[in-house]
Amino acid sequence: MNGMSFLRTHLARLLSPHKFQPQAYDHVLRQEERKRNAFAKTCFYILANPVRDGLIKESERWPFCGAVIPGYPDLHPLDQDFWPLFWRLYTSSRASDASERKLPPRNSQETHVLT
């Protein structure tokens, strides 16, 4: 995590007066969260963060959202053709045994600290 620490330190002065949140929340998406509708719902929730924060009125106007899919640099999650193409690319690149992998059970008491 030295890279993230370096990035946060050196970007802080460029972003001033804005600040990074103290700690990001992340987790590996579970099988239920990787289904089409659940995954899209999560993406739209994240895309709406600037609207909920009052930074903009519509998600489409936020210049710092999007997705980087190799070979498709201009493809954006709010474009009408994004999801069919995304799922086609995802399905074709997915490991054949991915659905058989067993993840450890979630522990709601566990704190995720990046070191």
What are the tens digits of pLDDT across the range 70-79? 888 888 888 8
**Is residue 90 pLDDT above 60, yes or no?**
yes
Mean pLDDT to the nearest integer, 94-107: 68
Mean pLDDT to the nearest integer, 81-108: 76
pLDDT band at 103 (very low <50, low <70, confident <90, very high): low
Confidence at residue 114, expressed as pLDDT on a 0 to 100 scale: 47
**Is residue 115 pLDDT above 50, yes or no?**
no
What are the tens digits of pLDDT across the range 26-62? 777 788 888 888 888 888 888 898 899 898 888 777 8
Q: How many whole angstroms separate alpha carbon 51 and alpha carbon 57?
A: 6
- Tell me which of 55 and 66 has the higher pLDDT: 55
DSSP assignment string, 42-90: HHHHHHTHHHHTTS-SSGGG-TT----BTTBTT--TTSTTHHHHHHHHH
**Is residue 111 pLDDT above 50, yes or no?**
no
